[in-house]
Structure 1
Amino acid sequence: MSATIAMPPFDAPLRASPLALSREDQHWVEQTRDAMSVEAQIAQLFVLSARHDNAAENDGLLAHAPGGIHRFPTRNLDAAWGAARHAIERSDVPLILSGDIEGGMISYPFTTAIPNQMGIAACDDLALSTDLAAIVGRESRALGYNWSFTPVVDINRAFRNAVVGTRSYGSDPERILAQARAYVRALQAQGVAACVKHWPGDGLDDRDQHLVTSVNDMDMAEWRATFGNIFGTLVDDGVMTIMSAHIALPAYIREELPDAGARAFEPASVSRLLNLKLLRGELGFQGLIVSDATIMGGLTSWMARTEAVPAVIENGCDVFLFSRNPAEDMALMLQGLREGRLSEQRLHEAVTRFLSLKAKLGLHRMTLDERIAPLEQVRETLRQSDHLDQAARAAASSVTLIKDRDAQLPIAPDRHKRVVIIADEGSSFFSGAPERDFTPLRAGLERRGFIVRSFDSDAIPTPDDADLILYLIGQEATPAHSHIFLDFARLHGSPRNGMIQFNREIPTLLVSFGQPYYLYDAPNFSTYINAYASLPDVQTALVERLTGDAPFTGVSPVDAFCGKEQLTW
């Protein structure tokens, strides 16, 4: 059978395929696919997740012969290198390694730490964005990655949404598109496939698709002018993959099926209309579609697992992402094929397309050392001085002064010597994320002559013993948190203490190292800063700007006042 991938049964504009292959590479795809049993073809559609760098986990995943392994950040370079090399070496069909390489605090500690997407957007410098994406590409390739589930192109409009936030380039579709185009081009130039997410577009619903099927409630005129333009332009630019999420687009379903009823709210990950008619048909996308994680509540609450597993592939996705029980899910896929809920045509198309992605990346031609170099060579590639310089420049440029109503800045030891820090410890859903540590910020203040102490709920600060209250708060975008808010009860040690506010008695600064909307919960605070991530370089840059040693240059990618006049005063 030919390696040519069948077109969907919808009219589609002609687009060059980002997975177009030479005749030799097509032959490899055909030979590899046709030599596989049906069971092996089904296994090839799965990307399983790894959270530990050990042989036991690797061997357990490789026993299923998946098409790919998604690796989450861990702490030790030697172990990470060894696990990646072990997985690549033991796979008969070239194994693709993927990751959510989004920046911020969910990064390997032995790579160059760059700001998250919102921090990058706040720099408002596309040349710098391009340089950062190239760094991500070079260092990711050194660690064996071939596929990054980035960039996020969601429009950050629902300010209570906990999962979009700092993963987004902001609320302006034009800025989002410009940043995403720069990122995709630079990343793919380094041999790493980009993946635009989350189709058909998140950020309007304040709910989280990790927990529930969320809804993009735009009408189709607005959708086509915003998300349609973003995805369509990136398709034209040659992005190789797109992630189909557990997000509904009811306006489109009803445009096609006026009496759709509940089906209007089906998640894109199992929607033939959204994946094949809208994305492939109307936008002309010929690359690979990967589902979002199939263990998420937005899918599991919509459809029983028996139905969902084959439905993901049958309705347009080419890759099935994550599984709590790979053997069981692969059996459900086979059962769906035998019972006619997964067609042979869609299985054929999906396997062909995933193998074509691997061939386009050249994985079948690479030696082990070309896939992931010897350890010392990898070590030399990571954290090079020019990489670190660019990252530090971005961290400094990102810090954004949102509000300074009473001109409290800059702070100085002669006026604000005794500083009380009220810090949010933060947490992360992502495997491998480090615990938050504000040592760089505290040390920077102390070197400049400030006396810094931590808040003590049993000894509430007063104007007699404190000259400045410094709130260090903020959560980077985090799945499964439902909603974001400033939890004064937790910050102040008890619900009763949570009712105490210091800002009218003691000069108070509120700094977010995560989501940009916390002023909503502290509207009367006079000074508010968004720093987007608590990276050490960001903390160092923040101290320089608090003390007037450097100017604030960040440009807010969102309306940090949440459309509320009250917050501006």
Structure 2
Amino acid sequence: MFESLKKAPFNLDDTALAWVRQQYDSMDLQQRLGQLFNLLVMDESDEQLAVIRHLQPGGITRSVGRELQPEINYMQELLAAFDCPPLVSADVEGGQMSFAFGSSIPNQLALAALNDTEVTGRCASIQARESRALGINWTFTPVVDLNRNFRSAIVGTRSYGSDQQTVIQMGRANIRGFQHNGMAATAKHWPGDGYDDRDQHLVTSVNPLIVEDWHQQFGTLYRSMIEEGVMSIMSAHIALPEYMKLHTDDPEQWWRPASINRLLNQQLLREELGFNGLIVSDASVMAGLSGWADRATIIAELIENGCDMVLFCREPVEDMAYLMAAVRRGDVSEQRIQEAVLRVLGMKAALGLHRTPPKTDITVFAQKADMSGVYARCPTLVKDRTEFLPVSAERHPRVLVFSPGIQHVMLEQPIPLQLPDQLREEGFEVTLFTPGMDVQTRDYDWVLYLLAEESSLLRSHIYIDWFRLHGGFMPAMTRYWVDIPTVMVSFGHPYFLYDAPRIPTYINAYCATAEMQVAVLSGLLGRESFNRFNPVDPFCGSEQGRY
């Protein structure tokens, strides 16, 4: 097993390998098992630090706060709590997940709309440098799911779209951008998401492809990520029943999620596709896994069935005890423990943590990268049937705006968009709709819908809630575009034409960052030309939305 660390993707030299061996040999069983856990750090409490000092996990995932200096200070405390330098991970996906004090980076679907691998790689490089400055050395990106089901609320804007070659090219550029800047990348979600419209946070979802089609689509895709040298792959709570049917007659096992599925992790991913890096589970607290078995069984099966690291725990001390008990019962083999621990240590060495442990550096944030030129190219004009655009304050001064604001499951209340105020600054008379308002189209020159909901966890579906948007039962059935020019902009979910197929002018802008709102304003006013490339099918497979 030690010798395998000399091969891709870790490519360890003799010095790094010696460090791995020394670390492994110096650890007792408790310390080795600690390396197999990645704990989520959400707060900045002394209790959280105490758990880390006690358990000495192999990694942590930091939910980065909004203020730089407090974040730097607490990260320094966290890093000082470790005896062996940790893997420090985050979902560095851009869009709403960009660091509040860092450079604003478009999300993956916005970058796919550019269809420009150089820009994708440059964005990943910027994200890597800023992440490393915070002490983060491992990103759970790229998302390499194929966005083949428009009803999915979890894939959408997090993916590089629906075209396999675009996903491959952008995914490889993302990996290069991160890993050439000293940060491990992660291809997810194994064995491939995007056909089921359900969310693994809530249910075990299914990849329905027959084996031949799976190999042509996701098999080809993951082979390409492996060839690029991706250091880790996230095994998700997704079943691949058609593959399982070839290997077992037990119909219950056909629906076993990949995260606890030896056939999918060991046989398909490692033996058939040749992956030699670290397999990390998706969050082990998700219902797509927790609904399968009790916690003690899940913890044992995650490791025994091929994952090298357990992602997130509700009760870390309890989960560690479950794994220890499983090892002593023989439910988790010594071989699997050794393989998993060595891969965790191997990735640490591949990142140079044996030479330079993670550290923080506030100076990187002295000047944010100017991404305005990138954002200007992102918004896609899907259709403008009446050729209403561009607008002007002289010809169309009075605009009625419908907008529920920026919505996200982590936000207690929606955040107002800036675009209405920007229109006012351009000389428009902007009226924001409020429930109960008596709307008379003769009082306005045009209507603007602003929707802002990126793909999000814990949402079964994203759709236009006309009752809420228009403020009532009868208003929900009113469509203003038959009487007055109407524009709809989605700063997120790209499939709202399914709910509003007759909207005459529709724009996909993919994420609601301030820079994207400026880019949309420039397009509306004709200062910049809109992009016309669609990384997904915004018409949702129906001709209806074109007219």
Deviation track 1:327-372 (CA, whole Å, cap 9, x = no partner) reads: 11111111111122111110111011101110111112115xxx32
Q: In 2, Cα distance between the equivalents of 1:168 and 1:214?
A: 17
**Match status 1:392 vs 2:382:** no
Tell me what 1:129 maps to.
120
**Match status 1:298 vs 2:288:** yes
Range 313-322 or range 553-562, more displaced = 553-562
Identical counterparts, % of pairs: 43
Query: Do the aligned residues in 1 keep the contact of 2:406 with 2:417 (CA within 8 Å)?
Result: no
Tell me what 1:497 maps to.
475
Tell me what 2:484 maps to.
506
The gaps in structure 2 that reach 5 residues or longer are none
Query: Do the aligned residues in 1 keep the contact of 2:37 with 2:310 (CA within 8 Å)?
Result: yes
Tell me what 1:565 maps to.
543
Change (3 A) 1:135 1:76: same
Query: Do the aligned residues in 2 keep the contact of 1:53 with 1:80 (CA within 8 Å)?
Result: no
Write the mapping of 1:64-143 to structure 2, written as runs, cut at 5 A.
Answer: 64-143=55-134
Report the residue type matching 1:341 in the other structure. D
Q: In 2, Cα distance between the equivalents of 1:70 and 1:276?
A: 25
TM-score normalized by the length of structure 1 = 0.93
Shift of 1:306: 1.5
Give the secondary-structure state (helix, strand or coil) at the position aligned to 1:313: helix
Q: In 2, Cα distance between the equivalents of 1:5 and 1:302?
A: 33
Q: In 2, Cα distance between the equivalents of 1:232 and 1:374?
A: 36
Query: Do the aligned residues in 2 keep the contact of 1:404 with 1:526 (CA within 8 Å)?
Result: yes
Tell me what 1:467 maps to.
445
Q: In 2, Cα distance between the equivalents of 1:434 and 1:87?
A: 30
- The count of corresponding residues between Structure 1 and Structure 2 is 547
Query: Do the aligned residues in 2 keep the contact of 1:53 with 1:79 (CA within 8 Å)?
Result: no
- Say which of 25, 45, 55 aligns to 1:34: 25
The gaps in structure 1 that reach 5 residues or longer are 7-14
Shift of 1:435: 5.2
Give the secondary-structure state (helix, strand or coil) at the position aligned to 1:211: coil
Shift of 1:426: 3.5
Tell me what 1:551 maps to.
529
Tell me what 1:234 maps to.
225
Q: In 2, Cα distance between the equivalents of 1:359 and 1:454?
A: 55
Report the residue type matching 1:326 in the other structure. P
Query: Do the aligned residues in 2 keep the contact of 1:166 with 1:532 (CA within 8 Å)?
Result: yes
Shift of 1:429: 3.3
Deviation track 1:270-304 (CA, whole Å, cap 9, x = no partner) reads: 00000000000001000000000000011011122
Change (3 A) 1:374 1:517: closer
Tell me what 1:372 maps to.
359
Deviation track 1:170-215 (CA, whole Å, cap 9, x = no partner) reads: 0000100000011101110000000000000001001111110000
Shift of 1:554: 4.8
Report the residue type matching 2:11 in the other structure. A
Write the mapping of 1:243-392 to structure 2, written as runs, cut at 5 A.
Answer: 243-257=234-248, 259-366=249-356, 371-375=358-362, 377-380=363-366, 383-384=367-368, 387-388=369-370, 391-392=371-372
Q: In 2, Cα distance between the equivalents of 1:48 and 1:105?
A: 22
Shift of 1:505: 1.7
Tell me what 2:394 maps to.
414
Q: In 1, Cα distance between the equivalents of 2:64 and 2:474?
A: 39
Shift of 1:374: 4.4
**Match status 1:458 vs 2:436:** yes
Tell me what 1:445 maps to.
423
**Match status 1:428 vs 2:408:** yes
Change (3 A) 1:422 1:341: same
Give the secondary-structure state (helix, strand or coil) at the position aligned to 2:540: coil
Shift of 1:430: 4.7
Deviation track 1:98-126 (CA, whole Å, cap 9, x = no partner) reads: 00000001122101011100001111111
Tell me what 1:184 maps to.
175
Query: Do the aligned residues in 2 keep the contact of 1:105 with 1:434 (CA within 8 Å)?
Result: no
Give the secondary-structure state (helix, strand or coil) at the position aligned to 1:365: coil
Change (3 A) 1:416 1:321: same
Query: Do the aligned residues in 2 keep the contact of 1:253 with 1:260 (CA within 8 Å)?
Result: no
Q: In 1, Cα distance between the equivalents of 2:103 and 2:133?
A: 12
Q: In 2, Cα distance between the equivalents of 1:52 and 1:434?
A: 20
Query: Do the aligned residues in 2 keep the contact of 1:194 with 1:239 (CA within 8 Å)?
Result: yes
Q: In 2, Cα distance between the equivalents of 1:127 and 1:324?
A: 40
Tell me what 2:36 maps to.
45
Q: In 2, Cα distance between the equivalents of 1:451 and 1:59?
A: 56
Shift of 1:56: 4.4
Change (3 A) 1:422 1:280: same
Query: Do the aligned residues in 2 keep the contact of 1:473 with 1:511 (CA within 8 Å)?
Result: yes
Change (3 A) 1:306 1:366: same
Range 156-165 or range 24-33, more displaced = 24-33
Give the secondary-structure state (helix, strand or coil) at the position aligned to 1:550: coil
Deviation track 1:129-175 (CA, whole Å, cap 9, x = no partner) reads: 11111111111111111000000000001111100010000000010
Shift of 1:437: 3.2
Give the secondary-structure state (helix, strand or coil) at the position aligned to 1:509: strand
Shift of 1:54: 4.7
Deviation track 1:21-55 (CA, whole Å, cap 9, x = no partner) reads: 12222121122112212111111110001123454
Q: In 2, Cα distance between the equivalents of 1:76 and 1:44?
A: 30
Q: In 2, Cα distance between the equivalents of 1:186 and 1:202?
A: 23
TM-score normalized by the length of structure 2 = 0.97
Write the mapping of 1:534-549 to structure 2, written as runs, cut at 5 A.
Answer: 534-549=512-527
Report the residue type matching 2:508 in the other structure. N
Range 267-276 or range 499-508, more displaced = 499-508
Tell me what 1:3 maps to.
2
Change (3 A) 1:488 1:452: same
Report the residue type matching 2:342 in the other structure. T
Across the aligned residues of Structure 1 and Structure 2, the Cα RMSD in angstroms comes to 1.7
Query: Do the aligned residues in 2 keep the contact of 1:398 with 1:554 (CA within 8 Å)?
Result: no
Query: Do the aligned residues in 1 keep the contact of 2:102 with 2:365 (CA within 8 Å)?
Result: no
Shift of 1:16: 3.8
